[in-house]
Structure 1
Amino acid sequence: MSRLPQTQRALQFNRVGGPEVLEIATSAPLPSIKPDQILVKNAYAGVNYIDTYFRGGVYPASPLPYTLGREGEGTIVAIGSSVTDYKVGDYVGYMGPESQAEYTAVSANYVIAVPAGVEPGVTAAVLLQGLTAFTLIRDAHEVKRGDAVLVHAAAGGVGLLLCQLLRAVGAGTIIATASTKEKLQLAEKNGATHGIDYSKEDWVARVKEITGGQGVIAVFDGVGKSTFDGDLEVLARKGSLVSFGNASGVVPPFSIGRLSAKNLKVLRPTLFMYLTTKEEFTEAATELLRFVKEKKVDVKIHKIYSLEEAQQAHKDIEGRGTTGKLVYKL
């Protein structure tokens, strides 16, 4: 540690608000590591919609100043005394807080070696969203061959990965919604069998039409408030509404009795409750990166930003003008 700097650059905010509250701290303290942690010098860090939730106050952020980030990749520069699986110099990907900084201390339970053949930046781009998509179709609602499903915001980072993974596991009808013709074409290129432009079409009526009135067995919804009622309407008997995002706002309280008409399930999963152990994370991350290496999952990087461009990155992701993942290069 003696050769490491004492301070670092980090993307932070001191108060909640719009993108303008983001700033780069040039003398943030270098993280110290616990016995079960490693210290990574970051090469790339992923940008996720959840970053805007913390920045905007939807989710609590403390203490302030708050350093953003949930995933990254880079080189290990120090290891804790109880870590035996990794060594200084290993190039790894990880999930953990405060990744949008030069250095991040992360639990060794959430670290995975980047396989040879996976391009730089891709692991940071795919881990959080890829594992989110992976657990949504395996744990939240296990999709089976031939199933009819609906994916909202299908051209976003999670949406495109959902379409690819649903195709890989054999879903029969994959209905995608998006706001433009170009986004729908991208979703269909990534596995969707049908596209609905919700800005021009009655998406509830179209889902019923596509499924012959039967509905879908699962809805994967990162939009939230504006699509919730329609989701319940298009679900088939014994179907699952997997609500995992709030892009249009938080879903308001509703009467649980609404579910009984079709014996529906509503889930609000969080990724880390599916990956609570080293074994769970390693198994899921290994399979995901194998899909990436074998080109069964194509990671779409919309743009690579510098930390200095963070305000624009937040404007871009909130403006829904992006297709695929946003990444910082450090």
Structure 2
Amino acid sequence: MRAVQITEFGGPEVLKVSDVEEPTAGEGQVLISVDRAGINYADTHQVENSYLSKAELPLIPGGEVVGRTADGRRVVALVGSGGYAEKAVAHAPYVFDVPEGVSDGEALALVLQGTTAWHLLKTSTHFKAGESVLVHAGAGGVGSLAIQLAKLWGAGRVIATASSDDKRKQTLELGADAAIDGGPEGLKDRILEANGGKPVDIVLEMVGGPVFDESFAALGRFGRLVTFGAASRQSANAIEPGRLMKGSKTIAGFWLADCFKNPALLGDPLAELFELAGAGKLRPIVGGDYAMSDVATAHEDLRARRTVGKLVLDPAH
């Protein structure tokens, strides 16, 4: 079968389409004929072996797929790796039926980015109605859904960051009350201004480096910042315990893989997200449908912040 397989770590240039042996499903596993595979920013880290979990070569990237099982079910599944292929294998508890009215791209957006956004607000920051929420990369896969969920759940004010005028406009169309440039220079002041001169209650942060530092500085009393990525590939400054005590602030981390030991932590939020999407209350943004032969371009676009929403890969082309 055709698949994207890497035999060395590096940037987008190492992504090559190859003929590889078709996977077989073992006990408790499901073989899926892949219609679309999800492309995630985490994949760019996996390909260069800078992700939280180290990869081994040879590697077929891709953490989630949507397609058909042998008995005809239309499913979306988390596979860990192996998704950039015509066929993939998933453990049965991480295979979820896709309801009618939810497209392939929407299902891929919700199974990973959607459940991440859900947990960032519900689990990691204990969001409460009326609170202000800062969403970094608001036009991205997680950010675009987090904006909508925060508004649906009664946020007092949602502020989004994005890297261009067009992306900032899109976050406003999704429901953000304000949209600002996410660059680190002067970011704290822009956040405070966008929140009416007040610090924010919650920050969803996935850039790292000075953006993390500026965001923490804009956090109010009893504020919570959750970090779930490091797109800048930079480290933030160390924060002394006293800076947490003053203002009673919290820093949390989130990694969706930590939900994998309890499938209900994925299935229950996903069922809620599917229901919201089916009712037209939540709009997953599918920002690009790439042929498998264009996988390197997809990664280049993602790393250069040229994309919005969820990106998907078509293994048939």
TM norm structure 1: 0.90
SS in 1 for 2:231: coil
**Cα distance in structure 2, aligned partners of 1:35 and 1:207:** 51
Partners of 1:76 and 1:90 within 8 A in 2: yes
Q: How many angstroms does 1:108 deviate by?
A: 1.0
**Cα distance in structure 2, aligned partners of 1:298 and 1:41:** 26
Quickly say closer, same or farther: Cα 1:279–1:157, change in 2 above 3 A.
Answer: closer
Q: How many angstroms does 1:253 deviate by?
A: 5.9
**Cα distance in structure 1, aligned partners of 2:276 and 2:37:** 21
Quickly say closer, same or farther: Cα 1:252–1:102, change in 2 above 3 A.
Answer: same
Partners of 1:178 and 1:198 within 8 A in 2: yes
Partners of 2:213 and 2:237 within 8 A in 1: no
Task: Give unpaired runs (5+ residues) of structure 2.
Answer: none
State the match for 2:175 in structure 1: 191
Q: How many residues align?
A: 312
- 1:128-147 matches, within 5 Å, as 128-147=112-131
Partners of 1:139 and 1:274 within 8 A in 2: no
Q: How many angstroms does 1:312 deviate by?
A: 0.2
State the match for 2:13 in structure 1: 20
State the match for 1:54 in structure 2: 46
**Cα distance in structure 1, aligned partners of 2:306 and 2:61:** 22
Q: Please give the per-residue CA displacement for 1:22-79, whole angstroms capped at 9, x wherever unaligned.
A: 11121x22222222111111101110000100112212543211110111111112xx
Amino acid at match of 1:71: E
Match for residue 65 of structure 2 among 55, 68, 72: 72
Match for residue 4 of structure 2 among 3, 11, 15: 11
**Cα distance in structure 1, aligned partners of 2:3 and 2:194:** 48
Partners of 2:184 and 2:210 within 8 A in 1: no
Q: Please give the per-residue CA displacement for 1:161-193, whole angstroms capped at 9, x wherever unaligned.
A: 111111111101101111211111100111110
Amino acid at match of 2:18: A
Match for residue 278 of structure 2 among 289, 293, 296: 293
SS in 2 for 1:66: coil
Do residues 122 (structure 1) and 115 (structure 2) align?
Answer: no
**Cα distance in structure 2, aligned partners of 1:281 and 1:234:** 31
SS in 2 for 1:69: coil
Q: How many angstroms does 1:114 deviate by?
A: 0.7
State the match for 2:199 in structure 1: 215
**Cα distance in structure 1, aligned partners of 2:267 and 2:167:** 32
SS in 2 for 1:63: coil
Partners of 2:208 and 2:236 within 8 A in 1: no
SS in 1 for 2:62: coil
State the match for 2:294 in structure 1: 309
Do residues 326 (structure 1) and 311 (structure 2) align?
Answer: yes
Partners of 1:135 and 1:274 within 8 A in 2: no
State the match for 2:30 in structure 1: 38
Do residues 160 (structure 1) and 144 (structure 2) align?
Answer: yes
Q: How many angstroms does 1:308 deviate by?
A: 0.4
SS in 2 for 1:226: helix
Do residues 94 (structure 1) and 93 (structure 2) align?
Answer: no
Amino acid at match of 2:175: G
Instruction: Give RMSD over aligned pairs.
Output: 1.7
Amino acid at match of 1:224: G
Q: How many angstroms does 1:228 deviate by?
A: 1.3
**Cα distance in structure 1, aligned partners of 2:228 and 2:290:** 26
**Cα distance in structure 1, aligned partners of 2:45 and 2:234:** 11
Q: How many angstroms does 1:310 deviate by?
A: 0.4
State the match for 1:274 in structure 2: 259
Partners of 2:221 and 2:248 within 8 A in 1: yes
SS in 2 for 1:29: coil
Amino acid at match of 2:13: E
State the match for 2:218 in structure 1: 234
What percentage of residue pairs aligned between the two structures are identical? 34
State the match for 1:169 in structure 2: 153
Partners of 2:183 and 2:211 within 8 A in 1: no
Task: Give unpaired runs (5+ residues) of structure 1.
Answer: 1-7, 78-87
TM norm structure 2: 0.93
Q: Please give the per-residue CA displacement for 1:120-140, whole angstroms capped at 9, x wherever unaligned.
A: 332123311111111111111
Q: How many angstroms does 1:275 deviate by?
A: 4.7
Structure 1 stretch 157-166 or stretch 250-259: which is displaced more?
A: 250-259
Runs of 4+ displaced beyond 6 Å = none
Amino acid at match of 2:152: A
Structure 1 stretch 39-48 or stretch 286-295: which is displaced more?
A: 286-295
